[in-house]
Amino acid sequence: MSGSPPSSSGSEEEDEGMDSYRKGGYHAVRIGDSFAAGRYIAQKKLGWGQFSTVWLAYDTQSSKYVALKIQKSAPQFAQAALHEIEILSAIAAGDTSNNKSVVRLIDHFKHVGPNGQHLCMVLEFLGDSLLRLIKYNRYKGLESRRVKEICKCILTALDYLHRELRIIHTDLKPENILLSSTINPSKDPIRSGLTPILEKPEGNPNGGVIVSSIEKRLKQRAKRAVARISERRSSMGDGVGMIPKPARCLDGIDFQCKVVDFGNACWGDRPIAEEIQTRQYRAPEVILNSGYSFAADMWSFACTAFELATGEMMFAPKTGQGFSEDEDHLAMMMELLGKIPRKIATGGARSKDYFDRYGDLKRIRRLKYGSLERLLIDKYKFSDADARELAGFLCPLLDFEPEKRPTAQQCLQHPWLDAGSETTDEVKSESSIEKANAGMNNLQIKHN
């Protein structure tokens, strides 16, 4: 999804429906509609979420394409937009050279429509999300150098947010990180040489939104029905003679990216909600309600990096017979990372819901302990060296004690990030030397 859609954006196969186009809800936009006294002209819809819709717009003042985010008009949505504008304004003010890998707020204004007054944000136009990239790559892991390139961008953004601005993103995930341009050049208005629409196309001036929405939904239902029939046929054939799809060619894609969607972000000294983060990227301290800070973003970053490297989520918990999704999530964490220290397991406001006084889970008693390194080797077929190096980068970020997780600034200095440009032998050699040096330093520290 292009531009900067909200974190709660719907799936690409669904539409937001017409029910919320009413007083207090979405503003109905038609192609060619103008905003801010004619400065911005709507070109096409990019995405939607529970709070807003996002449109590609043409900025007649700068002659550039932008992403126009139009908030629902009810007071609670307007309040949320004001908070996001405050955060985005601080980000833009501190990043005058626009090189911190964070989406840039260009403008904001109010727009009055039939459903009320809508707060609007104008953001720089960006490309597809990392979620779309993962799907495009058929849920196979990206090659290591690509993962490192993306990780550097995300860490640059987090270092800026955490250290310089004292902002916690609180919802870091592949969906909220956008590539600088679209995967398919023909869908990029700049690279495709799209001629901007500067006036409303001829035709029905009133029913355009509704008709196009109904048509789109019917087409999507038909598409899903065909896909289900295809799946049934292939399962009936038991996969005999089925040829797996080859890996996609990713040449030509710009892997530079930016962190977006600050609707749930907060200042480090002013947390705004107890429960933050999308389920699969949620840190243990958030589940246990033991307080959170910048380290919660670092946990989400590690989950995102793993997903880029493997094509699959690190944790995808489910509700089971006799246990909750939260408890399954905690069990998965421990199976991969080891037992949660007792003081952490029992130290949160919700700890008693999941743990006994000894720090053992109440309802999931049998755990199969493993390690991140073994998982990368056994399931994802990483080489021993690659698995060891990636696990060495990620495991400190997945420490159950938030205070022990490295900061984004420290991660940017990690040798794993700089190991992509050399040959494999050079990397292994350098890695061995660094490990030896680290070992010597540890010995010196212990003796002192």
Cite the active site residues.
171
Classify burial at 349, counting beta carbons within 10 Å of its beta carbon; exposed 0-12, middle 13-18, buried 19 or more: exposed
Task: Tell me which residue of 305, 312, 285 sits closest to 402, measured CA to CA.
Answer: 285
CA end-to-end distance (rounded Å), the chain = 54
Region label for 226, one of left (φ > 0), alpha (ψ between -120 and 50) or beta (otherwise):
alpha
d(CA 389, CA 406): 16
Q: Which residue has the tokens 């420290």?
A: 410
Residue 69 is labelled as binding a ligand: yes
d(CA 83, CA 169): 13
Q: Are 277 and 384 in contact (CB under 8 A)?
A: no
Pairing mode of beta strands 177-179, 257-259:
antiparallel
d(CA 177, CA 413): 22
d(CA 88, CA 364): 42
Please provide the size of the chain in residues. Answer: 448
| Alpha-carbon distances of 242 from 73, 115, 225, 237, rounded to whole Å | 51, 52, 21, 9
- Give SS3 for 65: strand
Q: Which residues neighbour 58 within 8 Å (Cβ) at sequence distance 6 or greater? A: 40, 41, 43, 64, 65, 66, 196, 197, 198
Question: 10-residue block means of pLDDT along the chain (448 residues)?
Answer: 43 65 94 97 93 96 97 95 97 96 98 97 97 96 97 98 98 98 93 91 55 60 65 50 74 96 95 93 97 98 98 95 94 97 96 95 93 98 98 98 98 90 42 45 39
pLDDT at 116: 96
d(CA 22, CA 9): 19
d(CA 228, CA 226): 5
pLDDT at 256: 97
Classify burial at 414, counting beta carbons within 10 Å of its beta carbon; exposed 0-12, middle 13-18, buried 19 or more: middle
pLDDT at 327: 96
